[in-house]
């Protein structure tokens, strides 16, 4: 919930998983799988989530939406609906990195969590994270890497590494529930905008400096 006690709604469609979650007096998750036309699913999914949470649209205090990187059509669908919703309600909207959202769920103490999303042309959107006592921090800021560079980065890490590739079968995917968790645990990672002002992140800029392996964990 927001600081003034209003519910938060999150939307996600950067992969084939389309989901909506609400954090309020009643926490609700609604999701479905769609290969295309995600924007047509959001009205029904959001209506079901609002009904299950026993609230109306006017009660929402913030909209959180997966801003990418991810599927071009999926991102546009979630952002278009999220921007329209926040504009109608008059609430702020916050864009969430799909890399951060996955990491907040999978990062484990004592290990480096690397999240890699396909960016096309043999490139990956990559970020790395560490967890200490349940607090997750970025160990490598989001950047573009080739598959070979990712392999080199992982090999050079001084600690055990877990690599997560959401489009690989069985790998974790971004979810609206993960976006809510991120909004609550790391609000400083949100790109907050006025109503209707969220923008997509299709691909990440290349790192300005060469990628270096993380320093060892304290006490390692």
Q: Answer yes or no: do 19 and 80 share one domain.
A: yes
The verdict on residue 14 lying in a domain is: yes
Q: Answer yes or no: do 37 and 143 share one domain.
A: no
Q: Answer yes or no: do 145 and 43 share one domain.
A: no
Which domain range does residue 92 map to? 8-98+172-193
The verdict on residue 124 lying in a domain is: yes
Neighbours of 133 (CB within 10 A): 5
pTM of the full structure:
0.86
What is the per-residue pLDDT for 192? 95
Q: Answer yes or no: do 31 and 77 share one domain.
A: yes
Cβ proximity of 205 and 141 under 8 Å: no
The verdict on residue 202 lying in a domain is: no
Q: How many domains does the chain have?
A: 2
The tokens describing 157, both together, are 């890490």
The tokens describing 137, both together, are 């921090």
The verdict on residue 2 lying in a domain is: no
* Positions of E strands within the chain: 8-12, 17-23, 28-33, 62-68, 93-97, 112-120, 123-132, 135-146, 161-164, 191-193
What is the per-residue pLDDT for 203? 64
Q: Answer yes or no: do 120 and 42 share one domain.
A: no
**Segment-wise mean pLDDT, segments of 10 residues, the chain, 220 residues:** 90 91 92 78 93 95 93 89 94 95 91 89 90 90 91 92 75 88 93 93 54 45
Q: Answer yes or no: do 119 and 158 share one domain.
A: yes
Q: Answer yes or no: do 130 and 160 share one domain.
A: yes
What is the per-residue pLDDT for 41? 87
Q: Answer yes or no: do 116 and 68 share one domain.
A: no
Q: How distant is the alpha carbon of residue 35 from its chain centre?
A: 19
Tell me which long-range contacts 43-48 makes (C-beta under 8 A, separation of at least 24): 43/81, 45/18, 45/19, 45/20, 46/9, 46/11, 46/20, 46/81, 46/85, 48/20
Q: Answer yes or no: do 53 and 136 share one domain.
A: no
Q: Answer yes or no: do 34 and 46 share one domain.
A: yes
Q: Answer yes or no: do 34 and 115 share one domain.
A: no
The CATH number for 140's domain is 3.30.420.200
**Any residues with CB less than 8 A from the CB of 43 and at least 6 apart, and which?**
81
The answer to whether the Cα torsion of 95, 92, 180, 28 is positive or negative is: negative
Check residue 109 and report its DSSP letter. Answer: B
The CATH number for 13's domain is 3.30.420.40
**Any residues with CB less than 8 A from the CB of 33 and at least 6 apart, and which?**
16, 17, 18
Q: How far apart are CA 26 and CA 13, in angstroms?
A: 23
**Any residues with CB less than 8 A from the CB of 187 and at least 6 apart, and which?**
none
What is the per-residue pLDDT for 36? 67
Q: Answer yes or no: do 67 and 152 share one domain.
A: no
What is the per-residue pLDDT for 212? 46
The verdict on residue 213 lying in a domain is: no
């Amino acid at each position: 919930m927001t600081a003034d006690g209003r519910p938060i709604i999150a939307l996600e469609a950067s992969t084939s998983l389309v989901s909506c979650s609400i954090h309020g007096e009643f926490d609700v998750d609604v999701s479905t799988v769609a290969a295309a036309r995600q924007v047509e699913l959001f009205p029904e999914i959001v209506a079901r989530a609002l009904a299950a949470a026993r609230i109306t649209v006017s009660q929402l205090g913030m909209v959180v939406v997966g801003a990418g990187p991810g599927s071009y059509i999926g991102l546009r669908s979630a952002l278009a609906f999220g921007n329209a919703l926040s504009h109608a309600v008059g609430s702020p909207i916050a864009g969430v990195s799909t890399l951060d959202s996955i990491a907040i769920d999978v990062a484990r103490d004592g290990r480096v969590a690397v999240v890699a999303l396909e960016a096309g042309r043999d490139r990956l959107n990559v970020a790395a994270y560490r967890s200490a006592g349940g607090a997750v921090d970025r160990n490598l800021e989001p950047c573009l890497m080739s598959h070979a560079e990712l392999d080199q980065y992982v090999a050079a890490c001084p600690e055990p590494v877990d690599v997560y590739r959401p489009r690989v079968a069985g790998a974790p995917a971004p979810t609206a529930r993960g976006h809510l968790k991120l909004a609550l645990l790391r609000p400083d990672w949100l790109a907050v905008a006025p109503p209707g002002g969220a923008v997509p992140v299709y691909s990440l800029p290349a790192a300005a400096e060469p990628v270096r392996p993380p320093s060892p964990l304290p006490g390692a």
